[in-house]
Chain A
C-alpha cells in the first residue's frame, strides 16, 4: 500500500496533538477563565457592570476552542496553536481588573493589545502556518515593536499621582518621553497594521486557487476586525471615550467570535474537496505523465503543482520530460510530498503548502499506480532506445566489417593468388622439356583461375565494390545484371550515408533472393525514390505471392530488422497469386 507522507520544513509535526496536549490546553483554558472571572469578581473597578467583559472572556475561550479544533484538523500546521495562543493572549488584559495590585494591573494594561499582536501573526502565517522571507521579518517586527515599546514606555511613565497605585516598572520618570513613546507606538502600530494588511492582500493576489479558497472566509470577516482595530487606535490617539466604547462594543465582540470561525472554515476548505479524488482516479485511467501532472494539479486545486521523478542516473530529480527539477528548500513557500513505492520513492509532488496534506496524500495514493506504470514505461522506453541504438551500432559495425573483409580479400588473398599464377606461368616456360610437368602446371593454373573466380564471387557477395564506389543505384544495377530473371531497376542515382546505402542494398539483395527462392516469378523490379527526407524502396515481383510477413521465415524478419536498425520501416504485401511487393522506408537523417 502506498505511504504518502507530508514532508516539509516541519518534519514529524504531522502527528496529531496528543490527549495530554489537548487536555492541557483545555485545563489551561478553564484555569485562565476561572482566574479572569475571579479577577473581575474581586475587582474594585467601577465599570464592571455592563458585562461586556463577560462576552469578551467567552470570545477568548471560544477562540482557544476553535484553535484546538484547527490543531486537530491540521496537525503540523502552526495556525492552530497560534489561534490558541491568540485566545490566551487576549485574556492578559483581564489582569488590569486587579486594580489593587500594581504589578498585575500594569502587566494587564501594558499588554492589553497582545491578542492583536498574536492575531497579526496568525494572519501572516495563514493558511499554511509558515512564515518566510518578508512575512517572517514582519512578524518579528510586530513582536519587537510591541514588546520593546510597551515595556520601555512603562520604564519612564509615572502614573498620575491621583492613581491609587504606583508604576512598579518605573526607573526614570519622564512624562514627555513617555508621551513621545506613546506616539511612536501608535504610528508604528498604524504602519505595521498597514503592512500586515498589504502582505495578506498580496498573498491573495499571488496565491494559488487553493490558497485563495482558504483565505476567502477570512477576507469576508476581516473588514469588521479592521474597523474595530482602526476605531480602537483612533480612540487611543484622540482619547475619545465614545470611540473607545465603540471599539469594545458589539462590533468588536462580533469580530472576536467571527474571526476564529473564519480561520477555521478557511483551513477546512480544501478538506471539502475529496470528491475531486474520484475525478482524479477516473482521469488517471491511461493518463500520460505530462497529463498526470495536470490531473493532479486539478485534483488538489493547485496549478503550481509540479511532479518530479528521481533521476534514472541516481542523482537529483527530473520532470516527465526529463528536464532537471530543483526541490524547494524548507523556507520556500512550497511543500513536497513523497510518493513511496515498495522500495523507493516513485515521485515527488511539489505543491503549495496551503493544500490540505490529507488531500495530497489521497491524490498521491490514487496516482501511485499510474505513476509506477509511467515510471516503468519510461524505463522501458529508455531501454528500448538503448537497444535500438546498440542494434544500429552492431549493424553498422557488421557492415564495416564486411567492407574490410572484402578489401582484405581483394588486396590480400586475390593479389597473392594472381602472383602465384605468374610464378606458375614462369615454371611452365621452364618445364618445356617435360610434357607431363607442363600438363600438371596447366591444371594447377586452371584450378587457380577457378579459385580466383569463386573468390571474386564471394567478395562481391560479402560487400559489392560497386556500393562503395558508385552507391546504391550502380550496385543494384550490377546485382540485377547477374540476376537469372529480368529485373527492372529504377533507382535514383545519388549518394546517401553509408549505413543507409548498405541497408538499402542488402534489403534489395535479400528481397531479390527471396523472389528467386519462393516467388516463382518471371520478372521483378526495384524502385528507389528519395522523397521528403526518406529513401523509399520498393521491390516487386510477378510471382505467386502469398508470402506471410509473420511466418515468412528468417529472410523477411531479417529484412525488417535491417530497416529498423536504421530507424526505418518495412512492409510486405503479398496477396496469393498477386505477386509480392516489399516496401521499405529509410530515414536519411
Chain B
C-alpha cells in the first residue's frame, strides 16, 4: 500500500524497547516500507539518519539515557540537519507542549503520534505518508484534549458544530481536500468554513498547511 511510488519509503526506527521496535518493523515491512535501520537511543538514531538519509524517522520521545525528551531533541536536530528526512515522534503520553515544540521548530514534515496509534495500522501508515510528503500530523487525541479543554466563554463558543469538526481536522494537520473527503463536503464549502473560523477566532488566514496547524494549535492552547 505504498501507493504508486516506484521506490518504497525508507524508514529508520528508534525506540529503547526491542519488542516494540521489532513489532513495528514487521508491520512496516509487511506494508511495503523499507526499514533501513533500528536504534535503541537518540544518539544511535541520529547516526543512522546521518548515514542512511531515510525518508522518515520514527522516534520514541523517551529514550535512554535519561528517559526524558531525548527523542524530541533528536527530531529537532534531524529536521535541522536533513530537511529531506521527515520525523514522526511517538509518545506514550499526550504531551501537547512537546507537539507544539516540534511544530515550532519546523512544522513541515513532522508529526506527533500517540504510541498506541501504531496499532491502528491505517492511521499509522497514513501519518507516515503524510509527514513523508511534507505534511504535519498531530494525534487526534492531542487535538481532542485541546478542544475538550474547559475554558471560559470565548470566540470558540461562536463556532458551529460543523466548523468545530473542521477546526479539529485542521489541527490534526489535514489538508483541505482531506477535510472535504472526511466530512463529505465540497472543497469550496470547506474553504468557506475555514475562512469563517479564522475570522471568528480573529486569526490571520494561514494558506499553507503546516503553518496553519501551528497557528491553530497555538491558538487552542492559549485559550
Contact = CB atoms under 8 A, between A and B. Distances in A.
B116 A485 contact: no
Contacts of B95: 465-466, 469, 478
Interface stretch (B19-27, B40-48, B169-177): B19-27
Interface residues of A, number: 39
A418 interface: yes
A9 interface: no
Interface stretch (B5-13, B143-151, B208-216): B143-151
A474 B115 CA distance: 21
Interface string B1-40: 0000000000000001101100110110010000000000
Interface string A465-477: 1101110001001
A421 B119 contact: yes
Nearest to A412: B17
B65 interface: no
B115 to A, nearest CB: 6
A448 B116 CA distance: 9
A313 interface: no
Interface stretch (A170-178, A343-351, A423-431): A423-431
Most B CB atoms within 10 A — which of A414, A421, A423?
A421
Interface in A461-501: 465-466, 468-470, 474, 477-478, 481-487
B96 to A, nearest CB: 7
Given A449-B119, A485-B150, A426 B26 contact: yes
A366 to B, nearest CB: 64
A460 B149 CA distance: 17
Contacts of B24: 422
B201 interface: no
Contacts of A288: none
B97 A523 contact: no
Contact of B115 (A418, A424, A482, A523): A418
Contacts of A415: 17, 19-20
A486 B150 contact: yes
A419 interface: yes
Interface in B69-118: 69, 92-97, 115-116, 118
A288 to B, nearest CB: 50
B67 A419 contact: no
Contacts of A460: 93
B113 to A, nearest CB: 12
Interface of A: 407, 410-411, 414-416, 418-419, 421-426, 429, 445, 448-449, 452-453, 456, 459-460, 465-466, 468-470, 474, 477-478, 481-487, 523
Closest 3 interchain pairs by CB?
A422-B23, A421-B119, A419-B19
Given A481-B96, A483-B150, A487-B150, 18 more contacts: A411-B67, A418-B19, A418-B119, A419-B20, A421-B116, A422-B24, A423-B23, A425-B27, A426-B27, A449-B119, A452-B116, A466-B93, A469-B68, A470-B97, A474-B97, A482-B149, A484-B150, A486-B149
